[in-house]
A and B are shown apart, each in its own frame.
Chain A
C-alpha cells in the first residue's frame, strides 16, 4: 500500500503501484447501496410482466394489506414522471421510444416493471406484489431483429464508389455473423434509495451507478425538476460493465415514490431482477462483404448490421450499434465503404452498452470476415492483414472517424511472436491458432476535476469521473502526486457526490485516464501555479502555503476528440473430437492504450476484459424461448466462466502516445473484451479447417461442426 519506500516522489506515471483502495475493499470497509439502511425506509418490490408482449387491460390493486405503504401503477405517474430520455446518434435517426417508468397499456418484454409495491420490508413487498392482479392479453412477440418491422435506430453511410469497387473487384468475400445477447452480471446488482425534503424541495437519491451526473440529468428530465433540486450520491459500486451508466426506470420510480409517499424509499434488486430487467449487451448480426483487388488489397467494405434493441430505447441503447457501424473498416486502409445499421424493436429487455459497447461486435465482424477472406484467397491471414493495415496516422476513415495514433503492425508482430502459433490434429484433438485486431473509440466529450490544498498541506482532488472497480483512487493519485511533486499518500480523491464533485461525464468507454486523468493533471497544474504565486520562490512547504493562503483551489474541464486505442490478440485453442469440448490453451493480448499510468492496473484490466471476452464466446448467452421468456433468470440458466477455465494470458503494451491529451493516454478498460472474441473465433475456425459457428462455442455446436 501507498508510496514505496526509497522511490522518489517525482515520477509516478508508469509505476506499478498496488491498488491502494483494495485494503479497504478486501476488508469489507466498503459501503455499497444495500449497506445503506436509512431508518424507517419503505422497501420496493416490482410487479414485472410475465409476458414478452401483451396488452394490459387493467391492474387490480389489493388494499388493506398489512405492512404495505402504497402500490404504484402507471396511472399514478401521470404528471409526475415521463418516459426516460433517448440519446441520439451522430448522422442517424433514433425513434422517440423511451422506456416508460411503469408499463401503461402495453408490456414489451418479460420482466418489464408494471407496478411497484412499497412495504415495511422487501419480503412483505414481494408478498404483496404477488397479489397485484394485472389483466394481460398476450400478443405475438417479435424475437428476431431481422424479421422485425419496427426500426428504432437507423444509420447509413456511403463513401466512395462502392458499386464500382465491388464490380471491378478480383475477389468478393461474403460472410454473416451473429453475436448473442449477454447479461452484464455485476457482482453488486442495481439499486437506489430516495428521500424528499419537502420544506427545501430537495430530492436526494443514492444510486449504484457509474457516475452521478448522468443519473442527475435523467432524474431531472423524467421528473421535470430543475437539476439544482436533486442531489445524487453514488456510494461504492460493485461492478457495472456498462449496465449502470444509463439511469434505470426503477430508479425513477423510487424517486417518485419518495416524493408521493413522504417516506424514504429503497429498492435493492435481487439477482433474478438483475438478470431479466437490467439492459443487456450485444444481440447483433451482420452481413459483411469485402472487395479485394488482384493483390489482395482491400478495395471496399459493405456491411448491413441488425441490432436487436429490445422493446424500448434506454437512454444509451442506440449508441453501441452506431459505434459498431463506425468501426466497420477496422484497422484497414480502405476508403470505400457502405455501412448500414438497422436497430430493431423486439420483445426483449432493451440492450445497451456492455463492456466494449459496439467495439467487440465490429472487431468480431471485421476480423472473422478477414480470416474467411484469407482462406478464400489462399493467403496467410496475417499476411492479408499486413498488406492492408493502416500504417500512417492520424487516419481519417471512410466512415468519418479520425484514428489519432497507433502502430497496428507492431501490435500484430508482437502478438504473433508471443502466441507461438500452432496447428495440429491427431485422433483425439484439433489445435488451431487465430488472431483478432481491433481499434477502439475511447475518451471524447469532456471531464472535470478540482484540486484543493488542504490546511495540512495535503492535496484533495475531486473528480467528475467515478470508479466502480477501475482503480481511480490509485491512478488519479499517481497523476496528481507526480504533477505537484508530493507522495501518493498525500493525495486524497473524492468521487460520486453531485453536490461535491464538479459536473462531469463519468466512467465508461475506457475514458477515465485519458479524460478524467487529463482533467486531474490540468487542475493540479493550475493549483500548482497558484501555490507558486503564494510561495513566490521563498521555499515554503505546502503546509506553510496553506497557512499563508487557506482554501487555495483550482479546477479544470478537459475536452478532447475521441482517441483510438488498438491492439492485436492471439489465441490457441484445442477441440476434443469425441465431445466437441473447447479449451483455450493461451491468449496473448497486445494493446496500445498510449501512455500506461500504472502497469499493474492496466494488466488487470486486460486480464479481466479477456475473461469477459472469453465468457462471451465460450458460454454466455441470454437466450429467450420461442414465447419470449428469458431462460437466464438465474445462474442455472446463465453460465459464467470460473478461474478454472481461464487460460494463461500474456498482456503486453505498445505505447503510442495520443496527441490529444497531456498524458498521451488512450483507454485500456475494454480491450480484452474487444480483442478476445475474434481471436478465439478465428482459432476455432482454424482448428475446424475453416468451418464457422456463431458464439457461444458450445461443445454440441463444435461437435456437429466436426461432422459437417
Chain B
C-alpha cells in the first residue's frame, strides 16, 4: 500500500523488467504493459483502467531500434514515435510513416509515445495502425510459448482490441519493401490541431496500378477500401476511386468526409508516382 499513497490511479503492483525474457513471465490477464504511457496513464488516472500489475517496458533497451534488413524495415516496439519521425531511412523509403506520425497528437506526445504502444493500444482514431495496414506491415509477438507474426490487416479487431493475447508482447513491427517509384499520401480531419482524428485515409500507390487505401474513422478499426483499390489499379481517376472507398459507412457526413480524405490521400500518393 505504500505506493498507493503516492499515485493517482487505483492501487496496482509495478514491475520494470530489463529484458524481454524478464518481461514475458509477468504478462497475463491481470497485467497491463506500460510503454510510452500516452493512453494508458490517463486511463489509469481516470481509474478506467484498473490492472493488478503494470509491467513497465521502458527499460527494455533491446526493443528500441529502427533498421533496414534486406530491404525490410524493422521497428522495435519501444521505438518512440518521434524517433521514427526523425529517421532519415524512414523519410526516404517509407515516407507514409512520417506523414502519419506528424499527425499523432503534439510533439510532446510523440516524444514519449511509442510505435508499438500505438499498435497494441489499437485506438480506432490512431494514425499508425492505418498507415501500417496500408504498407502491409506484420507484427511480431512473443509469449513464453513462442513467437508468431500477424499481418496488420488481421491484427486489429475493434476499439482497443487486437488478436494479441494477454501473455504476448509485441516485439517488432516489420514493414515490407515498397516498390520503386511508389507514392504515398495521408490525409485526416480533426476538430482542432492535434486532437483525435474524426476521419482519415492512407494511400500507398505503386507504379502500374497496385494500391492500398486504408480508412480511419470508417469503422471500429482500420478499414481497407478494396473497391477503391481495385478501381485505382484499373486506371480510375483519384476522385472516381475515392467515391468507392467509403460506401459501407452508414453516417452520410462521415461517408463524405472519408471519401474526401481518400481523394486527397490518393492524389498525394499519385503525385509521387512517375507517370508511365
Contact = CB atoms under 8 A, between A and B. Distances in A.
A636 B196 contact: yes
Contacts of B253: 580, 699-700, 703-704
A578 B8 contact: no
Contact of A639 (B1, B11, B191): B191
B250 to A, nearest CB: 13
A639 B10 contact: no
B8 A639 contact: no
A67 B1 CA distance: 10
Contact of B257 (A130, A579, A704): A579
A105 B11 CA distance: 31
B46 interface: yes
A708 interface: no
B46 A634 contact: yes
B46 A272 contact: yes
A619 B191 contact: yes
Nearest to A615: B192
A201 interface: no
Report which residue of B5, B7, B46 has the largest number of chain A beta carbons within 10 angstroms of its beta carbon.
B5
B42 interface: yes
A581 interface: yes
A596 B7 CA distance: 48
Interface string B87-115: 00000000000000000000000000000
B276 interface: no
Interface string B44-59: 0111000000000000
A482 interface: no
A1 to B, nearest CB: 30
Nearest to B251: A700
Contacts of B191: 619, 639, 698
Interface in A120-144: 120-124, 126-127, 130
Interface in B144-189: 189
Given A634-B42, A700-B253, A579 B192 contact: no
Contacts of A642: 192-194
A66 interface: yes
A83 B4 CA distance: 34
Contacts of A124: 4-5
Interface in A631-646: 633-634, 636, 639-645
A122 B4 CA distance: 10
Interface in A686-701: 698-700
B195 interface: yes
A557 to B, nearest CB: 45
Nearest to B258: A579
B192 A123 contact: no
A619 B192 contact: yes
Interface SS of chain A: loop
B211 to A, nearest CB: 21
Nearest to A581: B189
Interface in A572-599: 578-581
Interface in A608-645: 619, 633-634, 636, 639-645
B195 A126 contact: no
B6 A121 contact: yes
A123 B257 contact: no
A272 B252 CA distance: 33
A639 B195 CA distance: 8
Contacts of B4: 123-124, 127
Contacts of A272: 46
A123 B5 contact: yes
B256 A703 contact: yes
Contacts of A633: 46
Nearest to A640: B192
Contact of A130 (B10, B192, B193, B194): B10
B193 A579 contact: no
Interface residues of A, number: 32
A123 B189 contact: no
A130 B10 CA distance: 9
A123 B8 contact: yes
A703 B11 CA distance: 46
B260 interface: yes
A699 B191 CA distance: 9
Contacts of B256: 578-580, 703
Nearest to B261: A579
A376 to B, nearest CB: 29
A270 B195 CA distance: 21
Interface string A63-80: 000110000000000000
Contacts of A619: 191-192
Contacts of B194: 642, 644
B189 A579 contact: yes
A634 B46 CA distance: 9
A67 B193 contact: no
Interface in A241-270: 270
Interface in A666-708: 698-700, 703-704
Contacts of A581: 189
Nearest to A125: B5
Interface string B1-33: 100111110110000000000000000000000
Given A578-B260, A579-B256, A704-B253, A120 B193 contact: no
Contacts of B254: 700
A579 B260 contact: yes
B238 to A, nearest CB: 13
Contacts of B45: 270
A66 B42 CA distance: 26
With a 10 A CB-CB cut-off, give which of B8, B189, B192, B254 has the most chain A CB atoms. B192
Contacts of B47: 126, 130
Given A272-B46, A579-B256, A634-B46, A641 B8 contact: no
A130 B42 CA distance: 18
Interface string A108-129: 0000000000001111101100
Given A639-B191, A639-B195, A645-B192, A127 B257 contact: no
A94 to B, nearest CB: 36
Given A581-B189, A639-B192, A639-B195, A123 B260 contact: no
Interface string A330-344: 000000000000000
Nearest to B263: A578
Contacts of A123: 4-8
Interface string A373-414: 000000000000000000000000000000000000000000
Contacts of B11: 127
A130 B7 CA distance: 15
A644 B193 contact: yes
B5 A67 contact: yes
A641 B192 contact: yes
Nearest to A704: B253
A202 B193 CA distance: 50
Contacts of A641: 192
A217 to B, nearest CB: 34
Contacts of A66: 1
Nearest to A698: B191
Contacts of B193: 642-645
B260 A120 contact: no
A579 B193 CA distance: 16
A699 B188 CA distance: 14
Nearest to B1: A66
A645 B194 CA distance: 11
Interface in A436-460: none
Closest 5 interchain pairs by CB? A644-B193, A578-B260, A700-B253, A642-B193, A121-B5
23 contacts: A121-B5, A123-B4, A123-B5, A123-B6, A123-B8, A124-B5, A127-B10, A130-B47, A578-B256, A578-B260, A579-B189, A580-B253, A639-B191, A639-B192, A640-B192, A641-B192, A642-B192, A645-B192, A645-B193, A699-B257, A703-B256, A704-B252, A704-B253
Given A121-B5, A130-B10, A639-B191, 4 more contacts: A123-B5, A581-B189, A644-B193, A703-B256
